[in-house]
Amino acid sequence: MSVTEADIVGLIIVLEAELWPALVATDSDCGQHVPLPHGRMLGGTSAMNGMAFIANSRANVDTWGALGNEGWNWATFSPYYRKISLTLSSEEKIKELGLEYVDPKLNGIDGPLQALGLGYPMSSDPFSGDGLGGYTNAAAIDPARSFSANAYYLPAKGHPNLHVVSEALGDTEFTVKALREVIISVGIFNSPKVLELSGIGSLDTLEKFNTPVVVDNPNVGENLQDHPLPGVIFEVQVFINTKDNLMRNYSSTLLPLSDFSKPDTGSEDLATILAATVPDSSSADFAAFIRSILQNPREATGGYFTYPARRNSKGSSFPENYITICSFLLYPLSRGICHVSSADPAKPPIVDPRYLSHPADLEMSARHTRFIDAIASSQPLACMLKPGGKRSPGVPDDLRTASLDEVKDYVKSAGRSTYHATSTCAMLPREEGGVVDSRLRVWGTKGLRVVDASVIPIAPKANPQTMVYALAERAVDLIKEDLAGK
């Protein structure tokens, strides 16, 4: 897949050869097979993600420092969010779309989109570090996708000291020597695999595949975190258009997607995802339960978003149109694993996400999923749903009145990945589960760093893409400081 092909939003659904092959995790706690797609092209998964651009929370980043990572907190990290993004939109366009946008100076908090029906206000700035409430995030202004390959690689492509080798996994071995450093940046599933294949990992794992031990660190490939994502599908009124037609008719998918090369055309000009985060004060018993874990009344525990189609509908022949309302845990306590499955680097790793293995996760996920029916019953959404319409198989008729055990059973059967996995090479003190130190250097080595989502010590409150960009920018400064001898 070329960089220009990746510019076309949504094209990845018909170009599955551009994914790493067949990584399907078996969840030992929920008993499900969980597909975990990740990008195999320049730009990696940034070339195929959902393009929601959401910052982490202040409390989450401050916790990084509290866990033993000196110099990591909201004050030192948040400037990199400003460095990586550029808002390109006029005040008139913002008002036309009714967006509560990042910069309050561009648009106030009095726009027409107010998520007040359930008592939660709109947030004017999801990048403030305190993202409680709901907001509409403009995921695309330019009709082409902006991602790491065209934003970072293409402008530097002609530099004489930059050499990119693609399709490098083959039968012929080459030796490449580094004068200063090697930086591993192959993602949440492949970075721990590369370390283990290089002799850095658990002694038991390395000996199983006759890999010479360089550094015995059992933390490699542990600590995997992801947002489990149960959702409920709702059949909509016949006059409501959704994206189910695209999912049903793959042969015609490329035609509307090709319109992205033209300005102001195409049905997908603006991907509008209404995201919401709900504070832990939703009810007295829930608040007490969550505060005992998070200890922060201003930190959200769950998030919600709508998807304008039936989830998991690929290849289905159903005639109806749907929307899906999903809930997800922002800070799961369950931890999974990702380890090599073979000494052959072409083989995918073994992944067990262990969703909901911590009892608190199952409790919180069930309670947040209950709230989905409250969202669906609020206006103006309720008038779009077909009365008595179809819902997800196995979901209780009314989640609000169903027993918590019934909801837990549904959550365990319906949960999937948000594709937000992080933390398999966590930045932590080694004795606390770390693989890299606070300067992203691999413990027990010299001249080796990891810079990608695998080093994030605690799952961010939403998708990790913005955090990866900001983390990479900070890594540049750390590397330059170390090379300068500071």
Residue 287 in tokens:
């608040």
Cis bond before residue 112 (omega within 30° of 0): no
Between CA 460 and CA 65 the distance in angstroms is: 14
Asked whether residue 76 is marked as a ligand-binding residue, the answer is no
Asked whether residue 466 is marked as a ligand-binding residue, the answer is no
Between CA 161 and CA 156 the distance in angstroms is: 10
Q: Are 241 and 321 spatial neighbours (Cβ–Cβ below 8 Å)? A: yes
Between CA 46 and CA 102 the distance in angstroms is: 21
Residue 63 in tokens:
């916790």
Question: Which residues touch 76 (CB under 8 Å, ≥6 apart)?
Answer: 474
Residue 48 in tokens:
């195929």
Is the C-alpha dihedral spanning 434, 420, 63, 358 positive or negative? negative
CB atoms within 10 A of CB 11: 20
Between CA 177 and CA 180 the distance in angstroms is: 9
Between CA 425 and CA 447 the distance in angstroms is: 16
3-class secondary-structure state, position 224:
strand
Cis bond before residue 359 (omega within 30° of 0): no
Q: Are 201 and 349 spatial neighbours (Cβ–Cβ below 8 Å)? A: no
Is the C-alpha dihedral spanning 407, 413, 419, 424 positive or negative? positive
Known binding-site residues for FAD equal 45, 464-465
Binding-site entries: 45, 464-465
